[in-house]
Amino acid sequence: MAAAGGTGPVGPYPASVDDTDEAHDAYDRLRRRVLWSLPSGLYLLGSRAGERRNLMTINWVTQVSFDPKLIGVGIEKTAVTHELVTEGRVFALSTIDREDRAIVRKFTKPCEWDPDASTLNGFAVHEGATGAPILSQAVASIDCEVRQAVEVGNHTFFLGEVVDTAFLKAEDTPVLRMEDTRMNYGG
Ligand SMILES: Cc1cc2nc3c(=O)[nH]c(=O)nc-3n(C[C@H](O)[C@H](O)[C@H](O)COP(=O)(O)O)c2cc1C
């Protein structure tokens, strides 16, 4: 890709990195640590297509427009969640109480749904306005309808319009961020 300044091709490795496997590996590790240092939140994303439901731990979440209110979420193409959001065209975000941080480890694989108890992996959920599952012990919920799906490498960036929001706990409850855990994603 040509640089904007017309200085010739750039990337993925900058000119200062030698063209050897060792130099590339060392730079790969550095770049990963730099990308991991980007501050982010940590959420559960509820998806629904018909009677299929899932909750997935996610940190690639950001508001991208305030008129209309659009939230962008990056979802890996191989995830069950990707299938459900593509089919159902909705998602619901749950923000997590910092004291409940252990929960995010329970939602990194497809969930088990118990329709009688209304639980996913044993955690109580309820339906948002879109029908997508919301963690009942969330601090807040944001229900979205998908307006656009942008293909970005091995993920899809789904842009959802906010159609319902709620606080389920006191508004000043501290919410979970990536830095509260020892986890990383991406890089
Ligand atoms: C801390 C953390 C952050 C994550 N962030 C994302 C994310 O932003 N996007 C994503 O697609 N998967 C993310 N994942 C991976 C998913 O939680 C999950 O492992 C995988 O995508 C499978 O989801 P599925 O149940 O829908 O198949 C993250 C995992 C962890 C542990």
Q: Tell me the pLDDT tens digit for each residue of 38-89.
A: 999 999 999 999 999 999 999 999 999 999 999 999 999 999 999 999 999 9
- What is the rounded average pLDDT of the residues 161-186? 97
Residues 169-184, buried b or exposed e (16+ Cβ, 10 A)?
eeeebebbbbebbeee
- What is the rounded average pLDDT of the residues 30-43? 97
For the whole model, what pTM was predicted?
0.94
The CA dihedral of 35, 36, 39, 42, to the nearest 10 degrees, is 130
Note the pLDDT of residue 7.
67
Rg (CA), the chain: 19
- What is the rounded average pLDDT of the residues 150-156? 97
Amino acid identity of residue 40, one-letter, is S
Note the pLDDT of residue 38.
96
Task: Pick the residue whose CA is nearest to atom 29 on ligand 1.
Answer: 57
- Please provide the average confidence, as pLDDT, over all residues in the chain: 95
Note the pLDDT of residue 10.
81
Task: Pick the residue whose CA is nearest to atom 23 on ligand 1.
Answer: 79
CA 59–ligand 1 middle distance (angstroms): 8
- Residue 42, judged by CB atoms within 10 A of its CB (0-12, 13-18, 19+), counts as buried
Residue 5 predicted with pLDDT over 80: no
- What is the rounded average pLDDT of the residues 148-170? 98
Ligand 1 atom closest to the CA of 79, numbered from 1: 27
Q: Give the end-to-end CA distance of the chain in Å, rounded to a whole number.
A: 21
Note the pLDDT of residue 107.
98
Cα–Cα distance measured from residue 104 to residue 55, given in angstroms and rounded to the nearest whole number:
10
Note the pLDDT of residue 112.
97
Task: Pick the residue whose CA is nearest to atom 21 on ligand 1.
Answer: 79
Note the pLDDT of residue 3.
53
* % of the chain surpassing 90 pLDDT: 93
Q: Tokens 């990194």 sit at which residue?
A: 108
Compute CA distances 34 → 16, 19, 43, 53, 180, whole Å: 17, 21, 22, 34, 18
Task: Report the pocket of ligand 1 as residue ranges, CB < 6 Å.
Answer: 42, 54, 56-60, 74-76, 79-81, 108-110, 183, 185
How far does Cα 172 stand from its chain's mean position?
Answer: 22
Note the pLDDT of residue 11.
84
The answer to whether residues 155 and 75 touch, using CB atoms and an 8 Å cutoff, is yes
All structural domains of the chain:
43-178 (2.30.110.10)
- What is the rounded average pLDDT of the residues 3-25? 84
User: In sequence order, what E strands does 33-184 have?
Assistant: 43-49, 52-58, 61-66, 69-76, 90-95, 113-114, 119-120, 123-127, 133-135, 140-152, 155-167
* DSSP-derived 3-state class of residue 134: strand
- What is the rounded average pLDDT of the residues 91-107? 97
Note the pLDDT of residue 2.
45
Task: Pick the residue whose CA is nearest to atom 7 on ligand 1.
Answer: 58
Q: Tokens 């979420």 sit at which residue?
A: 73
CA 7–ligand 1 middle distance (angstroms): 38
- What is the rounded average pLDDT of the residues 111-133? 97
